[in-house]
Amino acid sequence: MQVITQVSELRETMQALRCSGKSIGFVPTMGALHEGHLQLLRASVKDNDITVCSIFVNPTQFNNPEDYKLYPRTLDADIELLQTTGCDFIFSPSPEAIYQQHTMLQFSFGKLEQVMEGEMRPGHFNGVATIVGKLFNMVQPHRAYFGQKDLQQVAIVRQLILGLGFDIELVCYPTVREADGLAMSSRNKRLNVAQRETAVSLHDVLELAKSQLRTQPVAAIKATVAEYLKGKLEVELEYFEIADPLTLQPVEQITEGEVALCIAAFVGPVRLIDNLVVNLSEV
């Protein structure tokens, strides 16, 4: 496994591999790796000749400078984990290598970025699209792997690929959870013991909402979620939405097909997100 820090070296290496007929899988991450990331990496290793993992805490997608400062950085431990997956290359650049000059490029994803994460984190998805677009151009992968936990991000990347004509297959894998149901997240490392115990309430309330999809209207389910979390210590609900899983637009009436139950909340100082995609025929 080779660690690359320079963009020029990455481009030259990837171009040579593509020219030799190798298929390239790419897993972009911000580090602090967990089983959710490793699932994506193992899938890439299985599907492709070469697997690249980027580790880069992208400053342009943080609308809160303190959140960027506190985001866990565990590069040495990440490298050890990656050695167990069969990953071939780690791309771990500095911010200066990625952003050699201030970028004035602006992306607009319309209604897709005006709800949930886009509404609560202004500029977030412009930063996501900027870094993902840059990395796609640098790595030139055949396939890119993302996790369902960041459902809205997956939708944004899907539109980025379509809109800019990237010849890349987007592969999305289900959320990996702890034994008690908590979605694995790099941010979980910032939770203390009590907060970690409380954090599972996000998954619990999603399951509660799921159980009511056939019997309660949307407004009643939202009220139930808010009331349930109100009694949880150190939990502050930011939003709960029942949405179309592709467009992420709110669903006013539950009928057939699939819906996404999406939630964001603070547990202590740590902001966590989670979701369930539910096929209504199976409820």
List residues with catalytic annotation: 37
Judged by DSSP in three states, 265 sits in strand
Q: How far apart are CA 281 and CA 283, in angstroms?
A: 6
Q: Which residues make up each annotated binding site?
A: 30-37, 61, 147-150, 153, 176, 184-187
**Identity of residue 218:** V
Alpha helix (H) ranges present in the chain?
A: 7-19, 35-47, 65-70, 75-82, 95-98, 117-120, 124-139, 151-164, 193-199, 201-211, 218-230
Dig out the tokens for 91 from the structure. Answer: 């791309």
Q: Which residues make up each annotated binding site for ATP?
A: 30-37, 147-150, 176, 184-187
In angstroms, the Cα distances linking 36 to 148, 151, 172, 184 are: 10, 14, 11, 6
Question: Counting every residue, how long is the chain?
Answer: 283
Q: Which residues make up each annotated binding site for (R)-pantoate?
A: 61, 153
The closest alpha carbon to 280, from 230, 231, 210, 208, belongs to 210
In angstroms, the Cα distances linking 88 to 31, 93, 272 are: 16, 16, 31
Q: Which residues make up each annotated binding site for beta-alanine?
A: 61
| Furthest CA-CA distance within the chain | 59
